[in-house]
Structure 1
Amino acid sequence: MTSIRGILPAPVSDARPAERHSGHLHRYASTLLSTSDRWVAEPTPTLNVSLPFRRGSFASLAEALDYAARGETGLNFFDARGQLLSSLSYRRLRFEAQSFARRLISAGFGAGERLVIVADTWPGFCVAFFGCQYAGVVPVPVPVPVGLGAKAHYIFQLRRQILSSQALGILAPDELIDFARSAAEDTTARHAGGMAVFDAFPEAKVDLRPLGAGLPCYVQFSSGSTRAPLGVDIRQDQLMANIDGSITAQGLDEYDSGVSWLPLYHDMGLIGFVLAPMCAQRSVDLLAPRDFARRPMQWLSLISRRRATITYSPSFGYDLLTRRAQTGPVGELDLSCVRLAGVGADMIQLPVLRRFADAFQAAGFDERAFMPSYGMAEVCVGLSFSAPFGGARTDSFTDPQSGRTREFVICGRVMAGHTVEIRAEDGTPLGERHIGRLFVRGPSVMPGYFQKNDESAGVLRDGWLDTGDLGYWHKGELVITGRAKDLIIVNGRNIWPQDIEWAVEALPQVGRGDACAFSIDNGDAESVVVIVQAYPSEPAERETLVGDIRQAVKEAVGVDGRVVLIKRQPGLPRTSSGKLSRAHARSKFAAGDYST
């Protein structure tokens, strides 16, 4: 398996992913062996012996790491076989980050300048990211390559991100050095390469200049693929407010620890399982997305072995594990330790969660651990959370136009200090159980997109952020129904693309995540198009499948749809966070990229 829902990177060399990843980590380990205590062969503990637990309330990431470094907890990196590759205590992370910071300063990185960092799951990324914090340099985490044969496109995207951020340098894992150097040609990035390039800078005896309150923190590029990259300007104040709010909403305490396979270039992986745990002095075990792709059950195995209490995933991660449970060692797992199994990053599918709970009930998993949530990079990450250990709850909503009823997962209460309005098209706030567009204001809302004034003005007005999402209120809690730009309107009827996609994916010939629905303007009216990532070899089988899909669409939403079958390579377009990009699929269809 090379990728799952687009969030999991494929190999970029002939070596097997785990071999390349572990080899790179061990090469990094060798750079840490210059003193006897710089490499630890055991994972960091859950509990700090002497450091009092503090639930956030720091002014900056550097201040938070200064505090966490006084304890014993930290980050642990595991491979696809569940073997510990490296551990990085917060104490060691601070030491290495400050050394890296002095090297950046001596190399001429000025305060406020940017460093692009390819955010693979390895200790070097964390050292560089926090090194920037201490050097006054703004890190720009970017994705690893996704999909086979993606080198040219990846270099193109990487180059656009360098140009957009006007970065002075780019740091990449060893296996991606050539990509980074190619992308950096004829740009502002005069330093490009692996950790060895930056280790070669002299560590001058200079004063650190940490990014403090009111200053930038990092640039988080949006995951859109049909436009020039937009970098969310994440500031220290906004990030710390969001982390404090999420820690409180999730009820973190000194006994919690986490396990994650989420990519560190995505807000849920970076903030949820590196930055926020550090601000709460929690240990986290990290599995690279590529290794999760190879051995998905290792995610749950790590939770079981390490007695982790917190994890998170989009719906498709839980769905994948449910399918693997049919042949996997469920009886060897003990998931009774999990008190928070977060769900987010995409529309939450209740049937997926129910199947997962049924499949792993024998392993001790309690479905009350599910915590549906909602958020976006423009508010750092999370905005609303369900109650801890409250499980996934739903509301049945009847569309007043069609009379059809569907279940939506309730995404909880808005984080303290934030205000959400659900507005009609004329801007009027709507009451209970009326679908409208979500607007939010509060301490987590971004000041704007990095050096993109027009784009910022398009979503920010009078302190309110237009999220672009649709939803409604249910007894003081948010229910998200989809993206406004993805809503299909046929003959005045609102049709949710997920209803079509999930109906098609229920067919035995179609896999989860293999359908994409959108509408096109044919001149007289809107019509529905369904792109399906399935292509039987025999023409008769393809014809039968097309007929089955049309029937499924008809039964689900009562309209006829145009069906296009495509092969898995290159497959459906996805964002860097793994979300289906319906807008990109629509553009490709309009351009004739999909055969009909």
Structure 2
Amino acid sequence: MALIIPDDTEEDWACKAYGIVDWHTSTLVDMLQHRAKLSPSMVLYTLLDGDCNPVDHLTSVQLDDNAATIAAGLLHFGKKGDRVLLLCDNDLNYISAFFGCIYAGMIPASGVHIDVMRSDERFEMVANDAQPRLIIGPRKILADYKAVHKDLDCKPIWVSLEVLLNAKNKIAIKGDNQGVAFIQYTSGTTKNTRGIELTHRNLIFNLRHQAKSYEYLDEDYSGLSWLPLAHDMGLIGCVLLAIGTGGRCTLLPPKYFIEKPVRWLKALTKYKVSMSGGPTFAYNLCTREVTEEEMQELDLSHWELALNGADTAQADIMQRFCKKFADVGFRARHLVFGYGLAEATLTVTRTKRRVSPKFRSFSRSALMAGFAWPSTNKFDRRELISCGTSLEDQKVAIVDPESRKAVRSGRVGEIWISGPSIAKGYFQRPELTEEVFHAKIVGQDENYLRTGDLGFLLDNNLFFSGRMSNVIVLRGKTYDPDDVSGALEAACSDIRPNATAFFLANPEDFASITVIIELVKKPLNSYEEIAEKAYEVITKTYDIWPKMIVLTRPGGVLKTPSGKAQIARTRKALHENALPVIQKFEYEVPDLPPPLSREEALIEVEKWIAEETKDWDEDVKELTREKLVNREVDSELLLNLRRAFEHHFHIQIDPSEFMVACQDYKDLCNLLAGQISVSA
């Protein structure tokens, strides 16, 4: 029986009538206890092995009992409000340990992935930041980590789950709806990991509205996840969602998926799961690595919600996935795209269930200039996918990050969000919390979360177009590394999926573009041919010239535990000769004129306008609003002037802004100069 979720207008009545947890007042303790009382013998979680066979399970009443026992044990070593670092594998221990902390009124810190590369480094980073009173996990894992990390500054108490599960008593502290439930450490895509304080209110609101958007209101939810439990999408979007919807969740440890991607699809087939997902690279791995022989064993017709919401969803990859697996029952309408981030609990926007995704072609050059215009040229095309509309009771705005003014539909800007899902802030970072979580749009009093992501709205649908900290701005154009990576992967099958990095090797030198490319184990082409192909794609598609292309073995592009490229860490590792480099190719960069100052740009613009309009009957210097209104100046000539300027200077201009500026010669010159000056 699924958890019935009422409309807000029915909230109080429905909660009294059905005993449903209310996001306004309830906590995660209420949510699990409600599930244990309603469906005590229901199997919430089933753990699979590498052959996709069940090896362990956990019912709702067992989880409730484990949590209450662990909570009593924890309170022998600490007190309510203490922080506890979770150090568990991707199995059912993680879930019991997490809820044990919640039941004890302690604050678990989630974010350490023990079975990924450089896990020791991440463990120290999280432990030094969270300063936990306790570190808990299975005895074997604790022993291994404690032997290496004896001198942590916080001097934690290491307590095994075996000891905690032997506690004589049981306890469950409800907690405060607006208090911190746990600290989720970010994946560290663009910067060092940070702890995000999520409240019970944040979590139950987001879970409730996720369920509503998926239409899991009065039917059973069946999910399958291979995502790390220490990651927000794995923990909140799979583990907690199962309790919130009254459904079942099957867990395939991430290592089994990475070793052999077809295991994910085999598990979906075997257990007839309706909901599962992951980042774009997961779909790409399946498309490239699942063989025709393996396809014969698959049936994906039950997979009604194939989620994609952890990174840039590259349209060509998703379209190839749909085409390859169409013969085994997969349909494009099964895809559900979304946008989310840990700072907003998890989900921000979501496309509709059973509706084919919106693949839209935009002008790549226009996007780089900040405008979402349709593509009219197959050589200037970037395909994006709608991330859907906002969850109810939340707002998504697109804002100019410098002026902090909202921009209109179709303009690219920073994505800002407000609503009950927005986390309390960053752990022990008050100044950064104020800057990121309490931003205000000019003319509004409401607080917004600054995501640091770029995007735009069309028909209330959000389109994600890049991360501000990763993009490179060259001569007024914004280049998104994810877009460059997608173009390279599509052009050469010897490039590993989700395994390229594009950045300035020297932030002070705008001609120092470096491209790192991981190759498959046995490339079909020579290294020289691969580098030549990559160079051709970058120069012809983007009109930029890399100074160096670096080919590496697997592991050359450093990634987060969820598989997203870490540009800053990769750049640093390259400088320190810490990457598995195969070969480097260096190139001569053409001598490009330096960027113009505002004054130089004005001079250049006035000279260009004079030359371009020398045959006009009307002197453009005498341009006024009255002449435009009275049609003394041909507006078609002005449109031609804009097009000629765009063609000459290789930029894009908003037509409406151009026509407003055309009411005065000085304003027109200032607008055009702003497009080609260093401040553009």
What TM bracket, shorter-length normalisation?
0.7 to 0.9
* 1:228–1:347 distance in 2 versus 1, CA, 3 Å: closer
How far is the alpha carbon of 1:255 from its aligned partner? 2.8
Pairing 1:415–2:391 present: yes
Specify the SS of the correspondent of 1:332: coil
Pairing 1:448–2:425 present: yes
Whether contact under 8 Å (2:197, 2:424) holds in the other structure is yes
Pairing 1:137–2:137 present: no
Pairing 1:486–2:457 present: no
Q: 1:461 matched to which residue of 2? A: 438
CA distance in 2, matches of 1:168, 1:358: 51
Whether contact under 8 Å (1:159, 1:184) holds in the other structure is no
* 1:535–1:100 distance in 2 versus 1, CA, 3 Å: closer
Question: Pick from 54, 58, 65: which aligns with 1:84?
Answer: 54
Letter aligned with residue 388 of structure 1: R
CA distance in 1, matches of 2:351, 2:408: 20
Q: 1:30 matched to which residue of 2? A: none
How far is the alpha carbon of 1:119 from its aligned partner? 4.4
Pairing 1:579–2:556 present: no
Q: 2:545 matched to which residue of 1? A: 560
Question: Pick from 35, 44, 53: which aligns with 1:68?
Answer: 35
How far is the alpha carbon of 1:155 from its aligned partner? 2.6
How far is the alpha carbon of 1:493 from its aligned partner? 1.8
Question: Pick from 149, 161, 179: which aligns with 1:183?
Answer: 149
- Larger mean Cα displacement after TM superposition, 433-442 or 188-197: 188-197
Q: 1:504 matched to which residue of 2? A: 488
- Larger mean Cα displacement after TM superposition, 221-230 or 471-480: 221-230
Pairing 1:339–2:304 present: yes
* 1:282–1:184 distance in 2 versus 1, CA, 3 Å: farther
The runs of 5 or more residues in structure 2 that have no matched partner are: 5-16, 370-374, 440-446, 585-680
CA distance in 1, matches of 2:527, 2:99: 52
Q: 1:252 matched to which residue of 2? A: 216
How far is the alpha carbon of 1:175 from its aligned partner? 4.7
- Spell out the pairing of 1:151-300 with structure 2 (5 A cutoff): 153-181=118-146, 182-183=148-149, 185-192=151-158, 194-199=160-165, 202-204=167-169, 207-224=171-188, 228-253=192-217, 254-300=219-265
* 1:110–1:367 distance in 2 versus 1, CA, 3 Å: same
* 1:155–1:324 distance in 2 versus 1, CA, 3 Å: closer
Which whole-Å deviations, capped at 9, do the CAs of 1:478-523 have from their partners, x for residues lacking one?
A: 0000101111222222222223212222313212122111234464
Specify the SS of the correspondent of 1:467: strand
CA distance in 1, matches of 2:77, 2:47: 32
Specify the SS of the correspondent of 2:469: helix
* 1:214–1:435 distance in 2 versus 1, CA, 3 Å: same
CA distance in 2, matches of 1:410, 1:456: 29
How far is the alpha carbon of 1:395 from its aligned partner? 2.1
How far is the alpha carbon of 1:382 from its aligned partner? 0.6
CA distance in 1, matches of 2:187, 2:543: 32
CA distance in 2, matches of 1:465, 1:458: 9
Which whole-Å deviations, capped at 9, do the CAs of 1:542-584 have from their partners, x for residues lacking one?
A: 3333222211211221211133324335421112221111222
Which whole-Å deviations, capped at 9, do the CAs of 1:284-320 have from their partners, x for residues lacking one?
A: 1110001112332221222222121111111111111
- Larger mean Cα displacement after TM superposition, 179-188 or 541-550: 179-188
How far is the alpha carbon of 1:335 from its aligned partner? 1.6
How far is the alpha carbon of 1:334 from its aligned partner? 2.0
Whether contact under 8 Å (1:520, 1:528) holds in the other structure is yes
How far is the alpha carbon of 1:367 from its aligned partner? 1.5
How far is the alpha carbon of 1:331 from its aligned partner? 2.7
Whether contact under 8 Å (2:87, 2:136) holds in the other structure is yes
Whether contact under 8 Å (2:409, 2:457) holds in the other structure is yes
How far is the alpha carbon of 1:587 from its aligned partner? 3.3
Specify the SS of the correspondent of 1:160: helix
Q: 2:315 matched to which residue of 1? A: 350
How far is the alpha carbon of 1:188 from its aligned partner? 3.1
CA distance in 1, matches of 2:3, 2:191: 45
Specify the SS of the correspondent of 1:459: helix
Specify the SS of the correspondent of 1:514: strand
Runs of 4+ in 1 over 6 A off after TM superposition: 45-48, 52-56, 535-538
Letter aligned with residue 438 of structure 1: I
How far is the alpha carbon of 1:368 from its aligned partner? 0.3
CA distance in 2, matches of 1:175, 1:68: 32
Q: 2:631 matched to which residue of 1? A: none
How far is the alpha carbon of 1:140 from its aligned partner? 1.1
- Larger mean Cα displacement after TM superposition, 119-128 or 275-284: 119-128
* Structure 1 vs Structure 2 CA RMSD: 2.7
CA distance in 2, matches of 1:93, 1:328: 40
Q: 1:543 matched to which residue of 2? A: 528
Q: 1:429 matched to which residue of 2? A: 406
Specify the SS of the correspondent of 1:513: strand
Percent identity over the alignment is 25
Specify the SS of the correspondent of 1:171: strand
How far is the alpha carbon of 1:225 from its aligned partner? 7.0
* 1:413–1:569 distance in 2 versus 1, CA, 3 Å: closer
CA distance in 2, matches of 1:427, 1:54: 44
How far is the alpha carbon of 1:124 from its aligned partner? 1.2
CA distance in 2, matches of 1:296, 1:178: 31
Which whole-Å deviations, capped at 9, do the CAs of 1:119-175 have from their partners, x for residues lacking one?
A: 42211111111111111011112332455xx5xx43343123122112111123455
Letter aligned with residue 231 of structure 1: G
CA distance in 1, matches of 2:176, 2:277: 29
How far is the alpha carbon of 1:183 from its aligned partner? 2.8
* 1:227–1:548 distance in 2 versus 1, CA, 3 Å: closer
Which whole-Å deviations, capped at 9, do the CAs of 1:387-424 have from their partners, x for residues lacking one?
A: 11112212222233678331111000011111111012
Pairing 1:110–2:95 present: no
Question: Pick from 315, 329, 336: which aligns with 2:294?
Answer: 329
* 1:471–1:522 distance in 2 versus 1, CA, 3 Å: closer
Question: Pick from 340, 352, 361: which aligns with 1:375?
Answer: 340
Letter aligned with residue 347 of structure 2: G
- Larger RCO: 1 or 2 (CA < 8 Å, sep 6+): 1
- How many pairs does the alignment contain? 541
Letter aligned with residue 339 of structure 1: E
TM-score by length of 1: 0.85
Whether contact under 8 Å (2:182, 2:198) holds in the other structure is yes
How far is the alpha carbon of 1:592 from its aligned partner? 5.7
TM-score by length of 2: 0.75
Letter aligned with residue 554 of structure 1: T
CA distance in 2, matches of 1:55, 1:409: 36
Letter aligned with residue 519 of structure 2: A
Whether contact under 8 Å (1:56, 1:280) holds in the other structure is no
Q: 2:350 matched to which residue of 1? A: 385
The runs of 5 or more residues in structure 1 that have no matched partner are: 1-44
